[in-house]
């Protein structure tokens, strides 16, 4: 089955990592894959563009079916291989509802993180505006506090309750990236506990971004949040 799958991906990309975690959770090791460099703009190469005309990663293909949105790929893998590997969609209606809610809210967290990183890293110093820096940072801070609150109210230790689900598959890479960018663990103890506990999950360890193995700590651009 996995031999009919191809994943084009980039190291350090939360969307790529989501799909790789899902593949590991479903015991679909052995798929074809190729890593592309964002720094070298390889995601805009002809090879990627053929599979994903947007020139974005990940690009995932199973047989003749192409899924270039990471959430779509994760949902597809769980639905196609329900009886294989770990079950990622809970049966409990309350946990199912929470899973979808947290999954989709995770897109907001991810976008606010990207807004902050992009403005700090890519906008030249002379073009930055204090008001924009303040607005973007306050928006991300409020969002992170929201997730800290969610985990305070969750008794099971995972985003949707007592079991690891697609919510964790999709949102954990973003939370990890935020801590890698210097988020203070003491200030957000529930998020920090979640972040540290899942680092040892086999699917996460097996799919760890290789460039992060070489450089475990990112820029501390979020240490003041």
Non-local (6+) Cβ contacts of 30 within 8 A are 2, 3
What is the model's pTM? 0.94
Same domain, residue pair 58 and 103:
no
Joined together, the tokens standing for residue 99 give 């899973």
Tokens 């979640």 map to which residue? 194
Give the helix/strand (H/E) hosting 190.
helix 189-198
Q: Give the domain CATH number at 48.
A: 3.40.30.10
Do 125 and 73 lie in a common domain? no
Model pLDDT, residue 123: 78
Q: Is 160 helix (H, G, I), strand (E, B) or coil?
A: coil
Residue ending a domain, among 61, 81, 101, is: 81
Q: Are 143 and 99 part of one and the same domain?
A: yes
- Specify whether 102 is located in the same domain as 125: yes
Question: Which residues on neighbouring strands pair with residue 5, listed in sequence order?
Answer: 62
DSSP 188: S
| Domain-terminating residue out of 48, 81, 114 | 81
Residuewise pLDDT in 10s, the chain (225 residues): 789 999 999 999 999 999 999 999 999 999 999 999 998 999 999 999 999 999 999 999 999 999 999 999 999 999 999 999 999 999 999 999 999 999 999 999 999 999 999 888 777 787 778 888 889 999 999 999 999 999 999 888 899 999 999 999 999 999 999 999 999 999 999 999 999 999 999 999 999 999 888 776 766 677 777
Range of the domain at 152: 93-214
Buried b vs exposed e over 87-109: b needs ≥16 C-beta within 10 Å?
Answer: ebbbeeeebeebbbebbebbeeb
Q: Residue 107 is part of a domain; what is its CATH number?
A: 1.20.1050.10
Cross-strand partners of 7:
33, 60
- Cβ neighbours of 145 (radius 10 Å): 14
Question: Is residue 194 within 8 Å of 149, Cβ to Cβ?
Answer: no
Q: How many domains is the chain built from? A: 2
If DSSP states are collapsed to H, E and C, what string results for 82-124? CCCCCCCCCCCHHHHHHHHHHHHHHHHHHHHHHHHHHHHHHCC
């Amino acid at each position: 089955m996995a031999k009919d799958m191809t994943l084009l991906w980039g190291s350090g990309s939360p969307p790529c990592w989501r799909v790789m975690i899902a593949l590991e959770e479903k015991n679909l090791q052995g798929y074809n894959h190729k890593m592309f460099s964002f720094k070298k703009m390889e995601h805009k190469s002809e090879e990627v563009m053929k599979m994903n005309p947007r020139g974005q990663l990940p690009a995932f293909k199973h047989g003749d079916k192409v899924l270039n949105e990471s959430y779509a790929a994760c949902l597809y893998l769980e639905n196609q291989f329900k009886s294989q590997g770990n079950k990622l969609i809970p049966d409990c209606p309350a946990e199912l509802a929470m899973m979808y809610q947290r999954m989709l809210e995770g897109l907001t967290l991810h976008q606010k993180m990207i807004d902050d990183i992009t403005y700090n890293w890519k906008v030249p110093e002379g073009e930055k505006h204090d008001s924009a820096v303040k607005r973007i940072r306050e928006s991300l801070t409020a969002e992170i506090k929201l997730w800290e609150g969610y985990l305070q109210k969750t008794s099971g230790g995972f985003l949707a309750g007592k079991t690891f689900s697609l919510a964790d598959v999709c949102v954990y890479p973003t939370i990890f990236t935020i801590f890698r960018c210097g988020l203070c663990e003491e200030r957000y103890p529930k998020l920090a506990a979640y972040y540290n506990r899942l680092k040892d999950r086999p699917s996460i360890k097996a799919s760890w971004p290789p460039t992060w193995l070489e450089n475990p700590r990112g820029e501390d651009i979020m240490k003041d949040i």
